[in-house]
Amino acid sequence: MTMARSIAAFSFALLAALALALLSVVQAQPIPDSQGFISIDCGASNKYTDHHGTGITYEIDEEFIDSGQNMQISTDYIYDEDRQLAKNLRSFPNGTRNYYRLKPDQGKNKTYLIRARFWYGDYDEKNQAPSFDLYIDVNYWTTVNSSHDIWKEIMYVPLEDDIQVCLVNTGNGVPFISALELRALDDDGIYRLRSGFLKLDERQDTGGTPNSTIRYPTDAYDRIWATENYPGWIILNTTSATDSSNDNDAYKAPSKVLRTAQSSIDANTSLYLQWTPSSFEEKWIVYFYFVEIERLTSSLQREFTVSMNDNQFMKTVTLEYLKPVVVVSNPVSGSLITFSIESTNKSGNPPILNAVEYYTIGYLPNVPTAQDDVKAINEIKATYHIKRESWQGDPCVPENYAWDGLDCSNGHPPRIISLKLSSSNLMGDIVSSLSHLSTMEYLDLSNNQLTGAIPETLAELPNLRFLNLSGNNLIGSVPEALKKRVEDKTLNMSLTGNVNLCQADPCPRKKKHNTILVPVVTSVSGFFLVLFGALAIIWLIKRKQRAESSGRTLRLKNRPFKYGEVSRITGNFGQVIGEGGFGKVYLGTLDNGTMVAVKVLSKSSKQGYKEFQAEAQLLMIVHHKNLVSLLGYCGDPKHMALIYEYMANGNLRQHLSGRMHPTKDHPKVLTWSKRLQIAVDAAQGLDYLHNGCKPPIIHRDLKTTNILLNEGFQAKIADFGLSRASATGNDSYVSTSLAGTPGYLDPEFQSFGILNRKSDVYSFGIILFELITGRPPIMRSQGGSASMHILGWLIPIVESGDIQRIMDPRLQGKFDINSAWKVVEIAMSCTRATARLPVDYVGRIILGWALSLYVIPFLGLFTF
């Protein structure tokens, strides 16, 4: 008896990998730590926790970037102090733009502090720090040009869920970065402009301990406050905690920062500062932090007026003991920026300043490309594995960094209007995402290795006026709608050099594979039925001999039941819970209280008897969490029965058709995430049958009524009555009896009577479509007179790019469109004609076919 996890198994990878893809859709992607932080030590080789006070864990950058290389700074610049973050960096010798993609859980339209750190440290031994630009999404942030350890910081509100930090090579050296940090601020109102973003100039803790900084965890948002003691100002401090319960204190400046301050020498003197901006246009915003930290002896409160640049901004503030007040200035500009804090006449106390932040405004003139276009072009890039240096970040914006081969309209937002991918080594079908570039005018896919048919949906691009598909390997006929556009002279189309493309009019009709259902009644299968009968007898004899010689019997592993016992546990066959081809299924209870399902073979079913035996055999050796387990077995020849684990929630079909009574825990409609989980469970069960069992087992009758759900809604595959172990080292198996259920049968099996793993994969694809649409595989018209196969109905809709229309209406739109697309794609590839499956897959199937036609290995089949 061989049953081992075969390592070099048949490439069921398609299904297994796709099942994993499903799982990853359900789970979130990169997980920032609990505080809403993403902390990346660029170029580091290991994740580590910073033990110098912050306790922040820094991740390596690989999952955030595709390009660049890890480098170490020169050992001359490595000091013992807190410089772990700066010891290594990532540099980008290739490509104009290199992107870090950050996906914070909080998503778009939230305020984020984003800080990038740069420490050149002569890592390239050129002793010449480069100069390069930094972009935030599609807009300019700053230029980095320093050989010192510096950081750049902004407060930014993204328009999209992911944030891209881009390093742009401007021709003045190789860009690099040492660290990248993102912190989500939990209050959205703060640090938010009506338009634009805030670029930090300085953040100062006035009056603090000299030469010290304060950051996380003292500052919940990990702002870094550096002590600044202005000469001539008085230093004040208190040990009392400031009142953080104050409703106005959304800024959460740390008490430790606010407890120290500077004031002027007396009430008649103001606090005054001025500085020169780098340009006259630069707009400055200053955040002033005030708290009264002195218990004033006089009855007068401290009151003062904050003003900037000749009253471009002015505000009077009255302080209460230990209550923080934050004053945010208007944007001010000028050849000199000034502020003064001056006591009012009634105050009698000098003005103070506890902390201050200076920002300039960054502008967001560039609007990103329309999101539908971005999604479509990224799908095209992924499908065809396009690797071009410029194909990173936004496709159209900034204009001078647009992807090569693309032209864009310069609207708001910009759209993709032309795509030139001639001679780009594209392989496979013409991907449907091309039809989602809805403003496209010019499409050149000439001189590639494209196969398959020309999708009709291309004709739905309203502005398309040029289409060059010449020099490919396309097949089928030219869609009528495209021909019509050419006749109408609204489209110039070139198709030369596609030898298998029918350009005649009309074309010889090509037979359709997927949609038409023919009942499987052929004389070939009749012949095999007889053959099987004979072989089964040989097998039974062989089995008996083996059992005798080895002293093992079927019952050795599972507890044998006597007929009387079976009768007792089912309460004299009292409650029928199901009825299959073999006979009835009864509910039973074992002596220990475990509920079981007892399948009893009806005596009338003669052929079924062998099937029943086969099922017992198989279930004996097959154990997997996604396969219904066999608990026991009654071998009395007159009363054969199988005792299975009881699956409390019935079968999947019942749930999809809404024939299940809702309970408190399980509402009437299966949610989308439950459906995904069921799909993954079924895929794992099937993968085990195909790849975990040796020889592999082909189920042959996979369908939604054979997928059972336990009380926790875990899905398990049932009913191996029609299963057969396929031959070792061979993927196909010629059918010996009529098996399977209409609607789930692979057209290949129907026409040739050939069974291989792919016929199960096909059935699995149909099950996925049932999960998506809620509809049965054979759909009946209202009156029940006409019927249609599910693929015939949905393929045209899917190809039109509108999957909303096929989704189960009972989901009421509650599903994730991306994962829905993913499942549709998986289901499509499972049900596609063999010729369109991936090459390695096809190769194995064709090999299997060829072998099965010559060497039908029946005898090998049952020599477990």
Helix (H, G, I), strand (E, B) or coil at 420: strand
- The reply to whether 345 sits near ligand NAG by the rule CB under 6 A is yes
Q: How far apart are CA 369 and CA 398, in angstroms?
A: 10
Q: Is 766 exposed, middle or buried (0-12, 13-18, 19+ CB in 10 A)?
A: buried
Q: How far is the CB of 454 from ligand NAG (least distance, A)?
A: 15
* Sequence-ordered list of residues with C-beta below 8 angstroms from that of 649, at least 6 positions apart, any chain: 655, 660, 666, 708, 709, 710, 711, 713
Q: How far is the CB of 337 from ligand NAG (least distance, A)?
A: 22
* Cβ closest to ligand NAG, residue 67 vs residue 522: 67
* Cβ closest to ligand NAG, residue 67 vs residue 589: 67
- Kindly identify the residues of this chain, within the stretch 267-286, that bind ligand NAG according to CB under 6 A: 267-268
Cis peptide before 506 (omega within 30 of 0): yes
Q: How far is the CB of 39 from ligand NAG (least distance, A)?
A: 23
Is position 310 annotated as part of the catalytic site? no
Cis peptide before 217 (omega within 30 of 0): yes
Q: How far is the CB of 821 from ligand NAG (least distance, A)?
A: 24
Q: Which residue has the tokens 């019927």?
A: 787
Q: How far is the CB of 489 from ligand NAG (least distance, A)?
A: 6
Scanning 113-121, 463-471, 571-579, 673-681 for contacts with ligand NAG by CB under 6 A, the matching segment is 463-471
Lookup: tokens for 371: 């999101």
Lookup: tokens for 307: 């003003």
* Cβ closest to ligand NAG, residue 348 vs residue 635: 348
Interface with ligand NAG (CB under 6 A), residue from 468, 477, 691, 831: 468
- The reply to whether 260 sits near ligand NAG by the rule CB under 6 A is yes
Lookup: tokens for 523: 């004389």
Q: How far is the CB of 91 from ligand NAG (least distance, A)?
A: 8
Q: How far is the CB of 482 from ligand NAG (least distance, A)?
A: 13
CB 264 within 8 A of CB 281: no
- Kindly identify the residues of this chain, within the stretch 40-99, that bind ligand NAG according to CB under 6 A: 67-69, 93-94
- The reply to whether 142 sits near ligand NAG by the rule CB under 6 A is no
Which residues share a beta bridge with 321? 292
* Cβ closest to ligand NAG, residue 491 vs residue 587: 491
CB 362 within 8 A of CB 281: no
**Dihedral through CA 759, CA 763, CA 768, CA 772, nearest 10?**
130
Interface with ligand NAG (CB under 6 A), residue from 128, 492, 500, 553: 492
Q: How far apart are CA 368 and CA 374, in angstroms?
A: 9
790-799 helix and 817-831 helix, angle to the nearest 10 degrees: 130
Phi, psi for 442 (deg, rounded to 5): -135, 120
* Cβ closest to ligand NAG, residue 248 vs residue 345: 345
> Which DSSP string do the residues of 583-647 spell out, in sequence order?
-EEEEEE-TTS-EEEEEE--TT-HHHHHHHHHHHHHHHH---TTBPPEEEEE--TTS-EEEEE--
Q: How far is the CB of 206 from ligand NAG (least distance, A)?
A: 11
Helix (H, G, I), strand (E, B) or coil at 381: helix
- The reply to whether 671 sits near ligand NAG by the rule CB under 6 A is no
Residue 77 identity (one-letter amino acid): Y
Q: For ligand NAG, what does the binding mask look like between residues 200 and 239, x meaning CB under 6 A?
A: ---------xxx-------------------------x--
Interface with ligand NAG (CB under 6 A), residue from 2, 425, 490, 594: 490
Report how many residues bind ligand NAG under the rule CB under 6 A. 30
Which residues share a beta bridge with 184? 112
Scanning 37-45, 263-271, 508-516, 563-571 for contacts with ligand NAG by CB under 6 A, the matching segment is 263-271
Scanning 117-125, 316-324, 489-497, 854-862 for contacts with ligand NAG by CB under 6 A, the matching segment is 489-497
Helix (H, G, I), strand (E, B) or coil at 139: strand
CA distances from 144 to 10, 92, 177 (A): 52, 14, 10
Interface with ligand NAG (CB under 6 A), residue from 447, 498, 691, 723: 447
* Cβ closest to ligand NAG, residue 110 vs residue 690: 110
**Dihedral through CA 738, CA 740, CA 744, CA 748, nearest 10?**
-40
Q: How far is the CB of 442 from ligand NAG (least distance, A)?
A: 9
Q: How far apart are CA 163 and CA 105, in angstroms?
A: 11
Lookup: tokens for 14: 């398609």
Q: What is the CA radius of gyration of the chain?
A: 36
Q: How far is the CB of 239 from ligand NAG (least distance, A)?
A: 8
Lookup: tokens for 229: 């003691």
* Cβ closest to ligand NAG, residue 68 vs residue 583: 68
Scanning 27-35, 260-268, 425-433, 511-519 for contacts with ligand NAG by CB under 6 A, the matching segment is 260-268
* Cβ closest to ligand NAG, residue 169 vs residue 447: 447
* Cβ closest to ligand NAG, residue 94 vs residue 657: 94
Scanning 317-325, 371-379, 490-498, 660-668 for contacts with ligand NAG by CB under 6 A, the matching segment is 490-498
- The reply to whether 494 sits near ligand NAG by the rule CB under 6 A is yes
Question: What are the start-end ranges of the E strands in 86-189?
Answer: 88-91, 97-102, 112-118, 131-136, 139-145, 150-156, 163-172, 176-177, 179-184
Q: How far apart are CA 677 and CA 674, in angstroms?
A: 5
- Kindly identify the residues of this chain, within the stretch 405-434, that bind ligand NAG according to CB under 6 A: 422
* Cβ closest to ligand NAG, residue 315 vs residue 836: 315
Within 13 Å and on the Cβ side, how many CA atoms surround 639? Answer: 12
- The reply to whether 334 sits near ligand NAG by the rule CB under 6 A is no
Interface with ligand NAG (CB under 6 A), residue from 149, 187, 188, 228: 188
Q: How far is the CB of 329 from ligand NAG (least distance, A)?
A: 21
* Cβ closest to ligand NAG, residue 449 vs residue 490: 490
* Cβ closest to ligand NAG, residue 163 vs residue 697: 163
Q: How far apart are CA 337 and CA 282, in angstroms?
A: 10
Q: How far is the CB of 174 from ligand NAG (least distance, A)?
A: 10
Q: How far is the CB of 120 from ligand NAG (least distance, A)?
A: 12
* Sequence-ordered list of residues with C-beta below 8 angstroms from that of 238, at least 6 positions apart, any chain: 259, 293, 294
Residue from 701, 719, 746, 808 carrying the catalytic annotation: 701
- The reply to whether 449 sits near ligand NAG by the rule CB under 6 A is no
Interface with ligand NAG (CB under 6 A), residue from 362, 471, 608, 696: 471
Scanning 49-57, 265-273, 281-289, 716-724 for contacts with ligand NAG by CB under 6 A, the matching segment is 265-273
CB 715 within 8 A of CB 707: yes
* Cβ closest to ligand NAG, residue 316 vs residue 575: 316
> Cα 269 to the chain's mean position, in Å?
61
CA distances from 267 to 116, 300, 344, 349, 352 (A): 41, 12, 8, 5, 10
Lookup: tokens for 781: 């018209």
Scanning 261-269, 681-689, 718-726, 764-772 for contacts with ligand NAG by CB under 6 A, the matching segment is 261-269
- The reply to whether 175 sits near ligand NAG by the rule CB under 6 A is no
Lookup: tokens for 385: 């594995």
> Cα 569 to the chain's mean position, in Å?
48
Q: What angle do CA 838, 840, 842 make, to 5 degrees?
A: 65
Enumerate the active-site residues.
701
* Contact residues: ligand NAG, CB under 6 A: 67-69, 93-94, 109, 131, 145, 172, 188, 209-211, 237, 260, 266-268, 345, 422, 446-447, 465, 468, 470-471, 490-492, 494
